[in-house]
Structure 1
Amino acid sequence: MADRYAEPHRGDENVGTTAATTVGGVGIAGEGPVVGRTFTSWERIYFHVNVALSAVSLAKAAHHLDQPVEQRGAFSIADIRTRYTNAYQAKRIFSICGIDPQEAKIKSLWEKITSFGRKAA
């Protein structure tokens, strides 16, 4: 059995180097298949910075844009992450223990449960 990385195959000299930088066989800018194309380090950094900034924008949109402008206060992405992590963990614990999260006592404490560990803005 031949080692596929021992010697480049004809037509695909960069076997195994493009998988992490493609999505569905389409390159970063959507220029088509990227077989045999490697990305330089600055292109990788550019891509990851754009993904990070997109994630921040999506978090902001998902968490704050459904509130009226007057109620939107200062926030940090860490606070949003903490809130969603707390909500996920609380729901998981409640389901494992067989506790109904719709009970009045839990509903009254839900804000306090999800806000645990948040920093003051």
Structure 2
Amino acid sequence: LAVGKAVPYGIYDMKLNEGYVNVGIDHDTAEFAVESIRKWWNHMGQKRYPDAKKLLITADGGGSNGSRVKLWKIEIQKLATEIGLEISVCHFPPGTSKWNKIEHRLFSFITKNWRGKPLISFE
């Protein structure tokens, strides 16, 4: 029996071909999505892009970072103000997430490693 719930939120840097996954233990919320981006920026992004003035985020159209989720928009604006970057979000249209590079370059490998093995702990 599983000990808890793991909720992955992935960030894929298309320029550097690097991925970052933040794993939560509750639900996929707008706050969690933006906190994941914040952690990526603090741990990786600002070191790799010290002169950045803008950040472009591509996201699927549903879930915690959906185009109609008001809390997502509020939290992204808070992050933009906090880190001093102009943040633009480009949502993939419904049904097109299969063209989102993170699906193929990051999550497919995570899924392959989990396939057939139920996760029973956070380790």
Q: Normalising TM by the smaller chain, what interval?
A: under 0.3
Higher strand share: 2
Higher relative contact order (CA 8 A, sep 6+): 2
User: Per residue, is there more helix in 1 or in 2?
Assistant: 1
Calculate the TM-score normalised by the size of structure 1. Answer: 0.23
